[in-house]
Amino acid sequence: MPSSTPEIEDYHVAWIAALPIEFSAATAMLDEHYEHRNDDTTLYTLGRIGSHNIVVACLPAGHIGTTSAATSLVEVVHKFPALRVGLLVGIGAGVPSPEADIRLGDVVISQPTRGYGGVIHYDFGKVEPDGQHRRIGYLNGPPLVLLSALSKLRWILETGTSQIGSHLRSLQTLAAFRQTNTTPDHLFRADYKHQDGPTCENCDPIMVVTRPERDKNGPSIVLHCGLIASGNQVMRDGVTRDKLSSEFGGVFCFEMEAAGLLNILPCLVIRGISDYADSHKNKTWQPRAAGNAAAYAKELLKCVPPFSTARRPSSEGSITRNSARSMVGRRVSGRNNATSDGNTTEPPPMGTIEHSLGLHQLYPSSTRNLPFGFDVIAVHGLGDARSTWTKGTTLWLRDLLPELSSFRDARIMAFGYDPQSFFRELSSMAPGRLFTFAEDLLSDLADIRASRAHKNRPIIFICHSIGGLIVKIALRYANERQRLFGNIAASTKAILFFGTPHQGSDAAAYLTSIQEAVLIDQTDLVDDLATWSAPLIELTTGFSEIAPNYDITTFFEQRATNGVVVVSEGSARMGQANEQIRGLNVDHVSLCRFTSADNNWRIVSRRLEAIASSISG
């Protein structure tokens, strides 16, 4: 018996299908189905996979292509405003090449490649005076949380621990997926046209491209990650297929909906290969291809950590959150301590900051109206939101920073999260936790800056170690989600990184150094540290595209912590042309702890004054 449906705000994932066979495969993947009344023009069903509540939507019959897809998704997003990400799952037309041995039934997932976001709108552009066709426009890349999940999925496939076989077996209750009469997997020469008939029985077998048999001990379904070409026309010509693929440096498949969706909701595209985009196209492989894509989509969703749940304020103005805002200490954030004009009420006692989750205002007190100035956001590393910034009794964010003339009108806040979750969970999930913390940071900032008086205040981020990665992920996500967080991305002017491991390949070494330096006893973590590198590289390298928008300062440690240099100068360097780099004669733990007499404070304060002056000027 289906369960009662959760609230509208509890649905964070949209699963889009274009064809009924794709919709059937999607609904078969649900762990639980929810009751609902479907009175919209778009067919959808509601359910759950793992920890995610999902809207599975199907395009109206006969309405395919990018425009129809966009129209349907707009309707779904309007009805379910809390949607964070989307999956476009179904069939696609493969593009075999010497570099990519794509076969019928394989699965292709969009992934940023060669400067493209993962999907290319190949038939959108204009004709220049010289007759050349120039493509215009840009499609957003997949969201970071799904790229991190994709990295974990690939790792699971490498280790042979996936549950895809189990997901496929769940399709056997549906007659459409029990058929075994698929046609042979024949790839014909690109210039050879299909002969008459619904199948290729009349086609010349001499024209079949000879390909080596696949290893019988290897996977029966091969995953390919790269570029997908999307357009409004069915691709049915091998020569055109190969020509377009060559223009873009190699695409893995063609499809017809993705280009209409990616600028509406951050999406990942998952396609099961049902034909080769040539005149030999037929539908016999569609059920198997749709089922394979759905099974991979379900396995990927199980790699996505739960999204934080920011509900709409009740009449009392409170905001509740899920386990990402666990009841560790007291959470002070957003509208919980904001008045209707955006000014904050009395902050809690300073003793609570160590365990606070979310934004915690340090300065000014709430006894005066907030003038227009900067918002300074400090994000700690693997310490806590107070000790990271405190030397002796001096919490410099509160006690020293407001004494600088340029920061007397600043609003200074510390963001707290639970760093121990890195060590309580398998490290393969740690990049997903980073995304969750980044999402929490953005949500809290959007809440506290919601009033018209404060939404355009310039932002300066100050980050220590892992906190820098959280800020990088948050800003990249803010640039992707312009409707929700675009103002935060545009208002950010400067970032100061203290001992942040910018090189993703150094992630495993970083956590190992942390363990050695502060004597963390977590032997289970060490075994899995290598799984950090690939997802962290994907999560952070994309930041380089937006880094020129910010004034970036990097501070690195010049002393060892218990004999270990936690973040070396090489790892701390981001490698941006606009990056200013400075070493401080302290260890990693003391890198951002100052008193007024410290020479390091004089170095850092001069840099802060220069940043403030450039922003004001």
What integer pLDDT is reported at residue 292 of this predicted model? 96
In whole angstroms, what is the distance from residue 48 CA to residue 346 CA? 41
In whole angstroms, what is the distance from residue 588 CA to residue 569 CA? 11
Q: Model-level pTM?
A: 0.58
Three-state secondary structure readout of 3-40: ECCCCHHHCCEEEEECCHHHHHHHHHCCCEEECCCCCC
Which of 6, 10, 146 is CA-nearest to residue 81?
10
User: Residue 197 region, left (φ>0) first, then alpha (ψ -120 to 50), else beta?
Assistant: left
Residue 160: which residues within 8 A CB-CB, separation 6 or more?
Answer: none
What integer pLDDT is reported at residue 198 of this predicted model? 82
Superfamily of domain 13-303 in the CATH hierarchy: Nucleoside phosphorylase domain (3.40.50.1580)
Cα of 596 vs its chain's centroid, Å: 40
> How are the residues of the chain apportioned to helix, strand and coil, as percentages rounded to the nearest 5?
35, 20, 45
Per-domain boundaries in the chain: 13-303, 358-616
CATH 3.40.630.30 given to domain 358-616: no
Residue 397 near residue 389 (C-beta atoms within 8 A): yes
Residue 376 parent element (H or E) = strand 375-379
Peptide bond into 364 cis (omega under 30): yes
What integer pLDDT is reported at residue 270 of this predicted model? 96
CA distance to 111, 147, 261, per residue, from 36 (Å): 34, 31, 24
| Joined tokens for residue 393 | 């009794």
Instruction: Give me the residues paired with residue 108 across strands.
Output: 224, 271
What integer pLDDT is reported at residue 430 of this predicted model? 53
Residue 464 parent element (H or E) = strand 459-464
What integer pLDDT is reported at residue 475 of this predicted model? 92
Residue 251 near residue 228 (C-beta atoms within 8 A): yes
What integer pLDDT is reported at residue 314 of this predicted model? 32
| Residue recorded with tokens 């425009």 | 67
Please report, to the nearest 10 degrees, the dihedral formed by the alpha carbons of residues 562, 563, 567, 570 taken in order. Answer: 160
Residue 87 parent element (H or E) = strand 85-94
What integer pLDDT is reported at residue 144 of this predicted model? 80
| pLDDT tens string 354-373 | 556 788 888 886 545 666 68
Regions in the chain scoring below 50 on pLDDT: 1-2, 310-352, 367, 424-429, 504-507, 518-534
What integer pLDDT is reported at residue 572 of this predicted model? 86
